[in-house]
Chain A
Amino acid sequence: MTQALQAATPSRADGRPRQPRTRGWRGPRRGPQLLSRGSRVTMWAGLLIALAVYVLFGLVPMAGNVIISFTNYTALPSAPVNNVGFSNYTSMFTSQAPGFDQAIVATGVFVVAVTIGQNALALLLAHKLQRPGRAAAIGRVLVFLPIALGVTVVGLTWILIFNPQEGPAASLLSAFGVHSAFFGSASWAMPLVIFVQIWQNAGFSTLVFIGGLRSIDPQVYEAADIDGVGAWRRLRRITFPLLAPALTANTLFAVVGAFTTYNLIYVLTDGQYGTQTLGMLAFNEAFGSFQANLGYGAAVSVFLFAATLVVALPLMALLRYRERRLFS
């Protein structure tokens, strides 16, 4: 996901309409006739092998999710696989399968809190870390480090810090009379999971905001200085509007990421204590202990994918509309 949005930031930082990423899309093809026959065969062979990998392990699984969602697939060799029609979908909404309603609520809370928190923290960090100089450069490396460390190391690190007996967080909070099982507590688990998700991904959002800040023409600020514009008005009237494209990208990055990823939740709580989002539910139904409802899990995944689109696409349209209004 991180890579995905990095290459696909949906609009230009300077607010002009998006150009095709590569030059020369239009215009006739040329060149292939210059290649020898043998070279053309090699080119096609390489292309087809590479595309086969993409189709087989990228596109087919997408369609496969839909197909499996109409079956009672369990992956047990003895159990036959039958077409069960829409029953996996109907059982989501008829409380035959527990946990679906809670998962929708958990997903909603998780997505909203992560989106707001991640952007707020990243904006704050970017504002300071955009500066030239060694200290800011070190800061940029530090905030990006969790992405390199990965969800397993990050998750286990925070489990150590929130170790309920001797962990530093427990010691600190007990000074204020707060005692909790943290990741093993129904009231603390969700806020902590949200916090770690933000911590894990803030570095990337920060870099996107820094990119946006650096693309603002310094002359705009010089003009504002001459006109005697104060710091607060500068931030509100110049920086924030001109940051709109970066905000669009980061909002979508956070929303889609929070909707679909569950690997960090898997490490931190395995979806227990009220942290079972839809992605986590799909995984646990399919691969959790004593479960093998791959058909139902696939149906939840399809629902999740549809829900992500239903939220993300109008949101993208809205954010783009806001960008256009700000710049025209």
Chain B
Amino acid sequence: MRRPRLVSGVAMGVLVAILFLLPVLYVVMLAFETPAHFLNSPLTPGTPAVSNFSGAWNGADLGVELLNTVLYSVVASAASTLLGLLIAFPIARRLIRGHSALYTTLFIGLFLPFSVIPLFAEARMLHLYNNRPGYILLHVEPGLPLAVMLLVALISSIPAELDEAAWMEGAGYLSYLVRVVVPLTRPALIIAFLYGLLGVWNDIIGPVVLLSDPSLFPVTRGIYNFFGSNESEWTLLAAGIVIASLPVVALFAASQRQIIRASLAGALKG
């Protein structure tokens, strides 16, 4: 019993490492190669060189694009988390008529496909095309349904006596939300924010359709275009990938515990 289990465990470790770790390590290795060494022996690491990183940083304009990406994803995701709270609280506390129908409407939103053609048409009509505020506004909605679902579930577990007591003493709605509800729903707020952030950060179709000015491009489109214009400069491209994904890997490393626990809990609850 003991030994086959150990063997299969090791086999699985090797499989996961080859399938999920090796591709990532290969790109990192490539990023530190000189083009000359790469052409001679493409599969082995050489003496690490950092010239690719400066080349990619300048060539792909990664500084500006990373700033754009951070701006878009943080603001849009913060907005959808906040707006999610403004919808979730009245639903969870049944403060409005039709709270149940409203919940269902938001639930359907989880399954709506990203309708890029009408969004493009709307963006043109409402002057949201090719500008930063417009791009951010168009990216608020995708995170909203999940934020509402997570927050309704958590708010429902907070005793309603708490808000009744506060309101009898004359606490305002917004200050109550900020002082009492936000601290109590922090886990759901963080998960909704992180998922929303990843969605906006990793979007590639949005930047292709909704932006045309290169100075507005986020890093996904920047690195995609960089690939198109530097074909077969593989070490440079690898460095670009590493730079572009470093912030999101750092964020994931810092929050993986919450993200994975939340995903597992969601799967369990069903």
Contact = CB atoms under 8 A, between A and B. Distances in A.
A163 B232 CA distance: 8
A231 to B, nearest CB: 9
A20 B173 CA distance: 27
B133 interface: no
A62 B152 CA distance: 25
B102 to A, nearest CB: 8
Contacts of B36: none
Interface in B250-267: 251-252, 256, 259-260, 263-267
Contact of B267 (A13, A161, A287): A13
A296 to B, nearest CB: 10
A32 interface: yes
Interface in A256-304: 256, 260, 262-263, 266-267, 282-283, 286-287, 294, 297-298, 301
Contact of A128 (B12, B95, B266): B12
A43 B241 contact: no
Contacts of A160: 26-27, 30, 234, 237-238, 241
A207 B260 contact: yes
A148 B248 contact: yes
A13 B120 CA distance: 40
Q: Could you tell me the dominant secondary structure of chain B's interface residues?
A: helix
A10 interface: yes
Interface string A203-218: 0100110111011000
A60 B267 contact: no
Interface in B69-108: 83-84, 86-87, 89-90, 92-97, 99-100, 102-103, 106-107
Interface stretch (A99-107, A110-118, A164-172): A164-172
Contact of B141 (A57, A73, A75, A163): A57
B57 interface: no
A75 B172 contact: no
A282 B117 contact: yes
B224 A8 contact: no
Contact of A36 (B90, B115, B170): B170
B153 A21 contact: yes
Nearest to B124: A75
Best-buried of A6, A25, A47, A161 by chain B (most CB within 10 Å): A6
B205 to A, nearest CB: 5
Interface residues on B, range: 35 or more
Interface of A: 2-13, 18, 21-25, 27-32, 34-36, 38-40, 42-43, 46-47, 49-51, 53-54, 56-62, 64-65, 67-68, 73, 75, 124-125, 128-129, 135, 139-153, 156-161, 163, 165-168, 171, 199, 204, 207-208, 210-212, 214-215, 245-246, 249, 256, 260, 262-263, 266-267, 282-283, 286-287, 294, 297-298, 301, 305, 308
Closest 8 CB pairs of A and B: A150-B202, A211-B267, A64-B118, A50-B83, A46-B86, A39-B173, A9-B270, A57-B141
Interface of B: 8-9, 12-13, 16-17, 19-21, 23-24, 26-27, 30, 38-39, 42-43, 83-84, 86-87, 89-90, 92-97, 99-100, 102-103, 106-107, 109-113, 115-122, 124, 137-138, 140-146, 149-150, 152-153, 156-157, 160, 163-164, 167-168, 170, 172-174, 195, 198-199, 201-205, 208-209, 220, 223-224, 227, 232, 234, 237-238, 241, 244-245, 248-249, 251-252, 256, 259-260, 263-270
